[in-house]
Amino acid sequence: MTLGFEVSAREGAARRGRLLTAHGVVETPVFMPVGTAATVKAMTAEGVAATGARLVLGNTYHLMLRPGAERIAALGGLHLFMNWPHAILTDSGGFQVMSLAKLRKIGEDGVTFRSHLDGSAHLLTPERSIAIQRLLGADITMALDECTPYPSPPEAVEASMELSMRWAERSRSTFVERPGHGIFGIVQGGVYPDIRQHSAARLVEIGFDGYAVGGLAIGEGQATTFAVLDATVPALSGDRPHYLMGVGKPADLVGAVMRGIDMFDCVLPTRSGRTAQAFTRRGTLNLRNARHAGDPAPLDPECRCPACAGYSRAYLHHLCRSREILGAMLLTAHNLHYYADLMADIRGAIENGALADFAAAFAEAQTPSPPETRE
């Protein structure tokens, strides 16, 4: 194992730890801003780092199509290309093939598909996915998997999971170990606990630097997600990091940490920032609503972000209603600060043995207020 992971405190299933990567230390539990196409939308790399983020996500599917992994490698790798000196995790492309690609056909070798950009034909195999991620220079590489659509019957889910496990073994054998770099396997199995547990056991048998739980946050609901985690996480290696892919809302993160998850990614904070939605310690705000038009208060008086330090809700409302780019930039920065602060608070709560109290206070503070009046 060449990717270091140290656990310094525990509370129940929750862990406080540190990932030791080739590009620095990452404190866990951690939320990764999504930089799918070598950029976190509406943010500079310096702005992302200012939130406290030290690990971002890039994507094999998007970068292999544009501008191309070989081109990025020739330009010095993804870190230099996007001016990000800290750690990068790259998704394998399996989810995007399912959700974006056209005329896809899945077989034992891999998946053939046509690009959603220009219709060009491609073959993505486990070996090619791992090679692309090495060209990009990812600190954390993900094994190629098939993300089963939801809902699907158990027979189809089990067959898909078994294919993903065979791909996982090929991904692991292709990965080239080097200091500070690692590869994660991805648990699949839909919403079926027995299939999930079989997948987890198979991945642990293969042996990975970390373990992700994939195939969730695609419509099954929070209660089902948590039930899947309750069945799955105990079957994973306790001394390696656990990553819940594509999740989620702040309450999802708190609940998943309490179930043993260390790492998260989701487009929600950045996408919400581009659609006038702000996450705060007292709930979620829609800055398009008329109630904010004359409000001189900041979004969140406890927040340290540029939006809260220098701009009022009234001004942000004006920017959003006028569709000014600055509005998206400020709200995105705010949301990423909020997520980073939430994870820092969770880490502190675990260190102090107070996570259960923190979760209760968080839930009370996030209780929805009466509906806002819309213009």
In a domain, 213, yes or no: yes
- Claim to verify: residue 108 and residue 232 sit in the same structural domain: yes
Indicate if 204 and 281 belong to the same structural domain. Answer: no
Query: What is the pLDDT, as a whole number, of residue 374?
Result: 32
295 vs 302: CA distance, rounded Å: 17
Q: The domain spanning residue 10 has which CATH number?
A: 3.20.20.105
pLDDT tens-digit map of 250-298: 999 999 999 999 999 999 999 999 999 999 999 999 999 999 999 999 9
224 and 284 share a domain? Answer: no
Is residue 31 a contact partner of residue 264, using CB atoms and an 8 Å limit?
Answer: yes
Is 353 a member of any domain? yes
Instruction: Please tell me the predicted confidence (pLDDT) of residue 1.
Output: 55
**What is the per-residue pLDDT for 372?**
41
For residue range 118-140, list pLDDT tens digits in order: 999 999 999 999 999 999 999 99
Task: For residues 290 and 156, state if they share a domain.
Answer: no
pLDDT < 70: residue spans in the chain: 1, 367-375
**The pLDDT of residue 98:** 80
Locus of tokens 């200091």: 179
End-to-end CA distance of the chain: 56
Residues 89, 184, single domain; the answer is: yes
298 within some domain: yes
179 and 318 both lie in a single domain: no
Answer yes or no: do 238 and 361 share one domain: no
Same structural domain for residues 44 and 77?
A: yes
Instruction: Write down the pLDDT at residue 368.
Output: 61
Question: What are the C-alpha distances in Å from 139 to residues 58, 80, 142?
Answer: 11, 13, 10
Task: Say yes or no: 153 and 293 in one domain.
Answer: no
H helices present in the chain, as ranges: 45-50, 60-65, 69-74, 78-81, 94-99, 126-136, 154-174, 193-206, 222-232, 250-257, 268-273, 306-310, 313-321, 325-351, 355-365
List of residues 6+ apart from 187 with CB closer than 8 A: 196, 199, 200, 203, 211, 212, 213, 214, 215, 232, 236
Same domain, 228 and 287: no
Please, what's the largest Cα pairwise distance for the chain?
60
CA atoms of 139 and 241, how far apart (whole Å): 14
Catalytic residue positions?
91, 265
pLDDT at residue 86, rounded to an integer: 98
How many domains does the structure of the chain reveal?
Answer: 2
- Residue 375 maps to a domain: no
Q: Please give the residue range of the domain that contains residue 223.
A: 4-265
The 8-class DSSP code of residue 371 comes to: P
Q: Are 206 and 185 members of one domain?
A: yes
Verify that 342 and 226 share a domain, yes or no.
no
